[in-house]
Amino acid sequence: MQTADIHRRWLTFFGDRGHTVVPSASLVSEDPTLLFTVAGMVPFVPYLTGLVPAPYPRATSVQKCIRTLDIEEVGKTPRHGTFFQMNGNFSFGDYFKEQAIEYAWELLTSSESDGGLGFQEKDLWVTVYKDDDEAINFWKKTAGLPDERIQRLDMDTNYWSTGQPGPAGPCSEIFFDRGPAYGQDGGPATDDDRYVEIWNLVFMQYLRGEGSGKNFEILGELPKKNIDTGMGMERVAFLKQGVENMYETDQVRPVLDRAAEISGRRYGADHDDDVRMRVIADHVRSSLMLMSDGVTPSNEGRGYILRRLMRRTIRSMRLLGVDAPSFAELFPASRDAMKHSYPEVETEYSRIERLALSEEEAFLRTLASGTSILDLAVAKTKTEGAKELASDTAFLLHDTFGFPIDLTLEMAEEAGLTVNRSAFDELMLQQRTMAKADAKSKKTHLADLSVYGEFRAAGETVFTGYEYLDTETTILGLIVDGASVTSASAGQIAEVILAETSLYAESGGQEADAGTIVGNGYELEVLDVQRPVKGLTSHKVQVTSGEVSVGAAATTIVDPEWRRGATQAHSATHLIHAAVRQVLGQEAHQSGSYNKAGYMRLDFSWNQALSPATRSEIEEIANLKVRENLEVDTRIMNLDQAKSLGAMALFGEKYGNTVRVVEIGGPWSLELCAGTHVSRSSEIGLINLVSETSVGSANRRIESLVGYEAFQDLAAERAIVNELTSNLKTPRDQLSTRIADLLSSLKAAEKRIAQFEAAALSERVPALVATAHTVGAVSLVAENVGTVASSDELRSLVQSVRERLGSVAAVVALAADVAGKPAVIVATNDAARQTGAKAGALAKLAAGVLGGGGGGKDDIAQGGGTDVSAIGAALAAIGSAVAS
């Protein structure tokens, strides 16, 4: 049974039983505490917790998920994968425990010809929470399972909660017995690979209180009991396809086979090679799916996870003996395996491939540079007579250069060295602990959304700002320091929940509106506007006068100048995006944006800098569209209709079934967008493209000033040009030539000055040589040469004096004032070094006297400091050291 068939059977089964079929949400989670969608229930959490009223009583989905916590286990076990699909059915206060059990058993054990999955009842085991007698009775009634195939387990495996006060409840899990060839008897309680968990049913029926671990109080039953179940697609697939693990299923095995073919290794011949091939197959698929949802490789957040997956893939190919690029062959294999379930991987493949190949090329260069750094560290370690490469070197290579630790271990071993892996792991642990603490602090700050629940239950906040700048409304709630209050007074910072608002909440790359909220006896300055939960707008305000209370009448007032600038900038973003695609092609796809009054920023997928001519062309096209005074049309329609018209759904944005389409100049610019816009393009005024830079290996960023701010910037440049034309007495059209001539003359003058200075220094050599005097076993020159332009000049002078002293044992120490700071350079010749004189030690000694630091090689070294007046003492210290 192919994975796409399991996908279809699941949705058909539950769709036929009254469940709303919900498409998979993006792998990029809307939850601010999560980087990714890590479980099938994540998109439904607001409904399961009651924070947002569920739009349907029951639902089903096949949800794309990413988890990387167990990334080191990938390839080693039959079931660990970073990308997986979770089949879920959900009830929001509709059916409960008995019917959830009936559905699960029916789908699992019905014959394939009847639309079921065709599992044999004798192969299935069930676990329940130890005190859930109700679930046991339902299992016996529904499935007729004997007592020995229903196992009671403790809270750590069979009880669910968020870890915070809120919904909680027991779980029941269904396992498949693979048979005695895979392990010992005894059922799932043995925690053996023989028993594979395929389905988990969560019965949310209680309200839990404060506490941690197993120590929390059950406060009572929920008024509405919910069902959240999840069946692991990959686990069912490998069981139904009769293969040994998830890596050998139809959606993963093609990549594994391609890796084997490229490397010339045979899958099944060597355990270590098998693990590497499985890692490659898993990570390529995960990378493909992440990029199809708009994630791009970077050094932070989601992009860092993607980059890590891709680099582990390259590393595993290298361990298979493949040093050449391989993504051009691996990714198409994954695309062809996944496109039947997710057509977007094919339609977006040209963009995905460009990102993948660019990242591979960049990391292969990183491997080359990391290898050079490692070679130097190995040589230094050997020179010092050590046998162990420093753990902080290994960590630096891993953390800064992305150099995998296993590659460091392998190369160190080849050089006859070891690496203190435990010390390296301790450094990694410290980094993870810091990261987790940071994440926890952010989660604590953002996670408690329950305060918004009662307000969201009253309905959605109505946004009137498309039509009006002022709106009369009612204050539904006030929140101060995370708690709901009845009033707030002058000087306080509060959140205001309104029935309606004309103030735009930050979203879609557009910054929140500025403005005020006023009412009888109070005035509030709006600091920010956000949507903490779907459908609810919260206004962060400072009470500037009076006292505001819940239930009071209010008027939202948008700052008209701010809104005008914001609409200009947002519409300009659409024009620049369309111009970029017109010039570069349809593959130059927006990957992010930000706009506010007077400014816009557009990130787009492209892997090379734009030439000045290309930048000018994009800017000119956008401004010509402004001049054409194109109509800006907005329409509301369903998502499928919008896509059929060719409207662009932008990566990183979340869309419901009903969307807003913004059209500028017909199909030339047609995008899904909830932002505010001008009514005609001429209202934008002017677009001034001020920069174009890199924001990643395959992403570029354009920044532009818009409207009055664009005019101000050009006016400032005009003033500079006028000043230059006046001072240089040159017409504007000849200004660049005139400046180029001046620069050329300046460089020539600087070259002549350097020649004169070098000659003047050379003339000082005989006098310095004449100061040589015998100190101990060497001839010493130790002089303050006054002020020199640079340390390089001082070094050249020292070397010339040393050369003129010939073969006699000589130490030359010259000090000078370089840009207001003391510098000293010491040089020795072979004969002096044989007496024990070392330039590095002498320079370090002198630098200490100068109030700084220094050192270097035995033959020449440099030091510096802060106290020019101490130069005499520093040279005297060198003389004393030489004498001793």
- The answer to whether the beta carbons of residues 780 and 773 sit under 8 Å apart is yes
DSSP 321: T
Helix axes 405-414, 349-383, angle to 10 degrees: 40
| Residue 208: φ, ψ to 5° | -95, 155
Q: Which residues contact 153 (CB under 8 A, 6 or more apart)?
A: 127, 128, 129, 130, 188, 189
Give the three-class secondary structure for 879: helix
Q: Phi and psi (nearest 5°) for 106?
A: -65, -45
Q: Give the count of beta carbons closer than 10 Å to the beta carbon of residue 495.
A: 24
Q: What is the DSSP string of 739-808?
A: HHHHHHHHHHHHHHHHHHHHHHHHHHHHHHHHT-EEETTEEEEEEEEEEES-HHHHHHHHHHHHHHTTTS
What is the SS3 assignment for 394?
Answer: helix
223-to-197, 226, 228, 716, 806 alpha-carbon distances in Å: 30, 10, 16, 65, 98
Is 445 marked as binding a ligand?
no
Burial call 171-183: b when 16+ CB within 10 Å, e when fewer? bbbbbbbbeeeee
Is residue 398 a known part of a binding site? no
Is 65 annotated among the ligand-binding residues?
Answer: no
Q: Which residues pair with 501 in a beta bridge?
A: 463
Cα–Cα nearest to 359, from 292, 265, 259, 287: 287
Pairwise CA distance, residues 250 & 490, whole Å: 65
H-state helical runs in 491-587:
560-584
Q: Is 19 annotated as a binding residue?
A: no
DSSP H or E stretch at residue 824 = strand 821-828
Name every residue whose Cβ is closer than 8 Å to that of residue 423 and which is 6 or more positions away in sequence: 391
* Nearest of 209, 199, 223 to residue 96 by alpha carbon: 223
Annotated binding-site positions for Zn(2+): 570, 574, 673, 677
Annotated binding-site positions: 570, 574, 673, 677
